[in-house]
Amino acid sequence: MLQGVIAWLRRVWTSLLPGRVERDIERELSFHLAERADDLRAAGLSEGEAKRRARARFGNPAFQAERTRDVHVVHWLDTFMRDLRYAVRSLIRRPGFTLTVVLTLALAIGANAAVFSVLDAVILRPLPFPAADRLVSVSEVNERTTSTGVPPARLEDWRRLNTTLEAIDGYYVEDLSETSGDLPERVRRAVVTPGFLDVWGIRPVRGRGFTEAEYRFGGPRAVIISERYWQRRFGGAPDILERTVRIGTASIPIVGVMPADFRFPDREVDLWMPIPVDAPYAQDRQSPWYTVVGRLKPGVTVARAREDLAAVQAQLGEQYPETDRDIGIEVVPLKETAVGAVGQSLWLLFGAVTVLLLIACTNIAALLLSRGAHRREELAVRQSLGASRTAVAAQLLTETGVLALAGGVLGIAIAAAASGALRAAGANLPRFDEVTVGGRALLYTLASVVAVTLLCGLLPAVRAAGGLAALRGGAARAQVSTRSPLQWLLVGAQVALSVTLLAGAGLLVRSFHELSRVDPGFDPKDVLTFRVSGSWGETANYAAVMQRIDATIDALASLPGVEAAATSGWEVPGVPTQWHTTYELLEASTNSRPIIAEGRAVSAEYFRTMRIPVLAGELCRRAPPPSGSEPPVYEIMVNRAFVNRYLADRPSPIGLHLREMEGPIPASRIVGVVGDARERGLDREPGPTVYWCMSAPSPMPYFVVRARGDLGAVAQSVRMLMKDIEPLRSVYEVAPLEERIGDAFKENRLRMLLLAVFATAALSLACVGLYGTLSYAISVRRREVGLRLALGAPRHGIVGHFLARVAWVVGPACALGIALSLASSRLLSGMLYGVSPSGPATLLGVVGLVLAVATLAVLVPATRAALLEPTQVLRDQ
């Protein structure tokens, strides 16, 4: 048995490299012939005669040599190798054709591989943690607010009481100043709970995780740093575990280093520190501190975990009716939350690039069909010498296969080169930094190569192996009418698909344009945004925080060149976020509807800085710092949308009082109405908004500064000012507001650009196809054209005739393309702004473009036909 396998393997080897065996057989057979010739000469024959007779007695040496050789090879493999060598030789003989096809395929397959590798990295590949499919994101569903964060005490209860999670961790992220160097440096810190390393399953590369003592109030302090921070701040020093990090006035010993590719919760995190879970301030059941991640026990489903946690929460709701009642639980696989909406865009691009590949394939199939016509005689001769139709078809298919493989190899190279560019272009998009051309992309490319071979080559191969009929002269004429419709069909398909892609791209382009024209309701030009580091610990003395922030605002406003300065609270205006809350109107009648509006915390100077007009009432004033334990008193502004939605039945909104249903702030007075502004994102209608005039909702709000002149210079003077008044704090995230708003639409722009590129490529391919097909059709009918011209047909009539011929194909193709576009309009629906997928303007525009370009493409061959000299043509025939 084993011997049989070994023998087979040896035969495979000989099929691949038959040289040695062939030479041995040659030697053996020539020996026989030489011996026979010698003997015959010894018997008296002349040398020439002896040789002839020897050969006659032997039989046909070549034939016998081949039969002998057949014993040593695996038949189909041998045939394949022969076809392969022949294919390569004949392709090298036609460099123009070969190069065109290989390049086209390389671009199409390369684009496919590139998009696939992005898809693979972002959507298909699991997150880079052990058993990452068991990681889930856990959040609260609180009907009264949209906050999903979990208060610390509740998290600890969940940890104790749940039965489906192996580990659970909560974290929040803040930016602080590290002060051990000459200048304070901003570091990002993630505060984590017990369970930190258990959830992620990653061990530190140096040192250890946190001990139980370090999670206790009053216990030893400890910090784990990231490998990046280790390199950046400490230069990779080997004694890292004896160093410390200085936050505020405390020096904290470093106990561990996390590996460089550990990038949770956030790419920029430098430090992790434990929260003392038994600290008095960590017994809160209301403030949504944490984002929570859990690891499921093996075999537990997401649904099961959700049920379990919901049951636990219900139990807690009974125990703490004021704070824990009616809170739902959402458990979602972590990958879904990490990837977000980018997934949709990626699938769209993947579809587009696949369509592009299909178009390229039809182009090449048409090219191969017309090539097949030229080779009819060669193939017919082969068949008459004994090759079966299958053998001939197989040989042609091998040729296509070689082209496809060459295209595939080149395509992978292109994709690898492009992946660097893609990583850069999608810099902040989720998981984009993991994009590489990996094993799966190679497999996918291999599959594409096979698919391409079959798509492009099967039909032409079968067609060309048509039979001996071609040997009869003049058959070429008869064959035209059967072949042309097929080629026109292929070209029509290409045009239709191009129209679909162009329609999609056109819609995205128009959508992007609409977005840029929208009136944001505020003026984003000439505004610098930045943050100044602070820590949550400062909230112990809230009055001090308020004083500091207000003083900073005043100092900023007095800088030369600065027109106005303010804080804008939790986020920067114009960058898409979401935060709405339920409010209660104190003066409301009993059965009035619940008031749900977006809440923003901004300083009093905000409206002037952002140039949002005050429509009624007056601007709010800065809240005085509170005395004693009394909470500060704030004033409120509301926008027009709020008034229209909730207060339309009242004579004036001024003087009414609003209170957050779930918040700690007591009822506050409305003092004025401002215009609607699209602070939640330019693509969203401004909703009802309540502005709390508080300059410091957190110790590190965003600052917005309106200034004249170069914003870079302004940034410099801001840094110098902060160095003066707050030397221990760092200034970071400095950027012009327009740039931040632009960044938020990076994904949008990338998607639009890529789709436009693919659509343009598709249209170009379709035009090349049109040009080629018409040229070929005309070349075959030269005689007819010559006759017509000789019989007096006007030249423009010839042009018109061919144009009409083309129109018969392009017209229905455009219609089909439009139909396809409408059918797939749902794919785009979430990505458009201000345009409808079935809007006639875009579709008509696209059709117009395609018709124009198609006409140009066919005008050249048609005009050439019309310029033929009839006498020349007729004589040639």
Partner 1 sequence: MAPQKNDVLHGTLAMLVLKTLAVNGPMHGYAITNHIQRASADLLRVEEGSLYPALHRMEQLGWLRSEWGMTEKNREARFYSITRLGRKQLALEEENWARLTEGVARVLGYA
- Which chain residues interact with partner 1 by CB under 8 A? 3, 7, 24-25, 27-29, 31-32, 34-36, 57-61, 63-65, 67-68, 70-72
Cβ distance to partner 1 smaller for residue 3 or 249: 3
Whole-angstrom Cα distance, residue 156 to residue 181? 37
Determine the Cα–Cα distance for residues 726 and 601; give it in Å rounded to an integer. 23
Comparison of 56 and 213: residue with beta carbon closer to partner 1: 56
Taking Cα atoms as reference points, which of 849, 816, 821, 848 lies closest to residue 835?
821
Q: How far is the CB of 759 from partner 1 (least distance, A)?
A: 57
Short-list 176, 193, 158, CA closest to 279: 193
Half-sphere exposure (Cβ direction) of 166: Cα atoms closer than 13 Å: 17
Least distance to partner 1, CB of residue 52, Å: 14
The DSSP line for 457-521 is HHHHHHHHT--GGGGSTTHHHHHHHHHHHHHHHHHHHHHHHHHHHHHHHHHHHHHHHHHHHS--S
Q: What is the spatial distance between Cα 806 and Cα 829, in angstroms, rounded to a whole number?
A: 34
SS3 53: helix
**Nearest-approach distance from CB 362 to partner 1, in angstroms:** 43
CA distance 722 to 708: 19
Residue-wise burial string across 52-81, b where 16 or more C-beta atoms lie within 10 A, e elsewhere: eebeeeeeebeeebeebbeebbbeeebbbb
CB atoms near residue 214 (< 10 Å): 18
Q: Which of 446, 499, 451, 495 shows the shortest CA–CA distance to 116? A: 446
241-264 as b/e, with b when 16 or more CB fall inside 10 Å?
eeeebebeeeebebbbbbeeebbb
| Kind of pairing between the strands at 657-660 and 668-674 | antiparallel
The first and second tokens of residue 90, run together, are: 């004949």
Minimal distance, residue 78 CB to partner 1, in Å: 15
Minimum distance from residue 118 beta carbon to partner 1 (Å): 52
Distance CA 670, CA 845 (A): 50
Distance of closest approach, residue 61 Cβ to partner 1, in angstroms: 6
Compute the least distance from the CB of residue 74 to partner 1, in Å.
Answer: 12
Q: How far is the CB of 34 from partner 1 (least distance, A)?
A: 7
Q: Which CB sits closer to partner 1, 33 or 822?
A: 33
**Nearest distance from C-beta of residue 388 to partner 1, angstroms:** 16
| 31 or 217: CB nearest partner 1 | 31
Query: What minimum distance in Å lies between the beta carbon of 801 and partner 1?
Result: 58
In the complex, minimum distance from the CB of residue 49 to partner 1, in angstroms, rounded to a whole number: 17
Find the distance separating the first CA and the last CA of the chain, reported in whole Å.
66
Q: Which is nearer to partner 1, 67 or 795 (CB)?
A: 67
Instruction: Enter the DSSP assignment of 290.
Output: B
Of residues 66 and 198, the one with the C-beta less far from partner 1: 66
Distances, alpha carbon 280 to alpha carbons 216, 284, 285, in Å:
11, 8, 12
Ranges of beta strands (E only) in 208-279 are 223-226, 244-247, 250-258, 271-274
The number of C-alpha atoms within 13 Å of 721 and in the hemisphere containing its C-beta is: 18
Question: Could you tell me the smallest distance in angstroms from the CB atom of residue 6 to partner 1?
Answer: 12
Nearer to partner 1, 29 or 302 (CB): 29
Residue 31 or 808 with smaller CB distance to partner 1: 31
CB of 393 to partner 1, least distance (A): 24
CA distance 726 to 736: 22
Q: How far apart are CA 119 and CA 342, in angstroms?
A: 10
Task: Calculate the dihedral angle through the C-alpha atoms of 115, 119, 125, 128, rounding to the nearest 10 degrees.
Answer: 90
Closest to partner 1 by CB, 58 vs 76, is: 58
Report the relative pairing of strands 635-639 and 580-585 from DSSP bridges.
unpaired
Nearest distance, CB of residue 9 and partner 1, angstroms:
13
Q: Closer CB to partner 1, residue 65 or residue 476?
A: 65
Neighbouring C-beta atoms of residue 796, cutoff 10 Å = 11
Question: Cβ 387 to partner 1, closest distance in Å?
Answer: 18
Closer residue to partner 1, CB minimum distance, 27 or 93: 27
- Nearer to partner 1 by Cβ, of 74 and 312: the residue is 74
Cβ 53 to partner 1 shortest distance, Å: 11
Nearer Cβ to partner 1, position 65 or 462?
65
CB of 95 to partner 1, least distance (A): 41
Select 79 or 824, whichever has its Cβ closest to partner 1.
79
Give the bridge partners for 273, in sequence order: 191
Q: Name the CA radius of gyration of the chain, rounded.
A: 38
DSSP bridge pairs for 188: 175
User: Helices marked H in 218-375 — which ranges?
Assistant: 227-234, 302-319, 321-324, 334-339, 342-374
**Helix%, strand%, coil% for the chain, nearest 5:** 55, 15, 30
Calculate ∠ Cα 418-354-347, nearest 5°: 80
Beta carbon nearer to partner 1, 49 or 336: 49
Give me the torsion for CA of 671, 677, 681, 682, rounded to 10°: 180
CB 773 within 8 A of CB 502: no
Task: Please give the structure tokens belonging to residue 793.
Answer: 């047909």
Q: Minimum Å distance from CB 59 to partner 1?
A: 4
Give the number of other Cβ atoms within 10 Å of residue 381's Cβ. 13
In angstroms, the CA 309 to CA 329 distance is 7
Whichever of 42 and 92 has its CB closer to partner 1, that residue is 42
